[in-house]
Amino acid sequence: MTVALTGLKIPVHIAIIMDGNGRWAKEQGLGRLLGHESGAENVREITRECSRLGVGRLTLYAFSAENWKRPAPEIQGLMKLLADYLVHERKEIMDNNIRFTAIGRLHELPEDVQKELAETSRMSAGNSGMVLCLALAYGGRVEIVDAVRRLAQDVKDGRCSPDQIDEKAIARCLYDPAAPDPDLLIRTGGDLRVSNFLLWQISYSEIWVTPVRWPDFTKDHLHEAIREFSRRDRRFGTIQGL
Ligand code: IPE
Ligand code: IPE
Ligand code: MG
């Protein structure tokens, strides 16, 4: 751990809305896809640093359910980048003992991406270090829709009754039921919104937003977010600390 972070609380689960690639590219006089390329490079740096700091889980919002509305060439470019990332990062993932997973409507992704996702997940399944989870074709609302459908089917088939449906039952039907809720939610690019990310899970997450575009987001910015997180008083509705 760096001196700057000694004694600070390291969040168990950090979730990041990696926004601002397009604006970054525009500001450099480049096309949007070059912004996404630069953003993909940065995923490696930030993943490595989180793993080094002892973060338990890092969830990265890489492609939203709504991002399908973008122009086809941008979507194709993003999918190609994703497939390349999944192949090229395997060594880095294995060298750092990272367990790779993904959440979202993964069946909507191109087949080659699904294949590389499955292979990277399979290969790293036995790793015991940080969990790296990519949110892909992910929307918080459709995740809840998918969970409710499963519960409705359980009721229909007699596996549970309506009065047995509680928060735990819903949480068990989310894409990754074993994942703890994020402690810290970071958004780059400066917009003050959650853009349909982990709606159920971020109820009590601490939110930290920076105007810095994702390709420019460095380890130092991450440390700044963690320092700020450490200073927050998380009350969860109680009066503790007041
Ligand atoms: C985030 O960057 C990456 C994805 C949504 C895939 P954007 O592409 O949204 O970048 P801005 O918001 O236009 O700058
Ligand atoms: C959120 O960014 C999605 C990802 C970072 C993958 P967007 O750029 O899609 O969000 P909006 O459209 O600004 O809300
Ligand atoms: Mg954006």
233 is known as an active-site residue? no
pLDDT of residue 174: 98
Report whether pLDDT(140) > 80.
yes
Q: Is 63 in the pocket of ligand 2 (CB under 6 A)?
A: yes
Confidence bin at 206 (pLDDT 50/70/90): very high
Please check the confidence at residue 134 and state whether its pLDDT lies above 90: yes
State the pTM of this model: 0.97
Catalytic residue among 67, 146, 154, 181: 67
End-to-end CA distance of the chain: 31
CA distance 209 to 98: 26
5-9, 47-51, 84-88, 114-118: lowest mean pLDDT where?
5-9
Q: Give dist(CA 138, CA 200) in Å, integer.
A: 13
**What average pLDDT does the segment 210-232 reach?**
98
What residues pair up with 187 in beta bridges, in sequence order? 17, 209
Determine the distance separating the centroid of ligand 3 and the alpha carbon of 190, expressed in angstroms: 10
What structural domains and CATH numbers belong to the chain? 9-140+182-229 (3.40.1180.10)
pLDDT at 41 over 90: yes
At 2 the pLDDT is 52
When pLDDT is averaged across residues 37-48 and rounded to a whole number, the result is 98
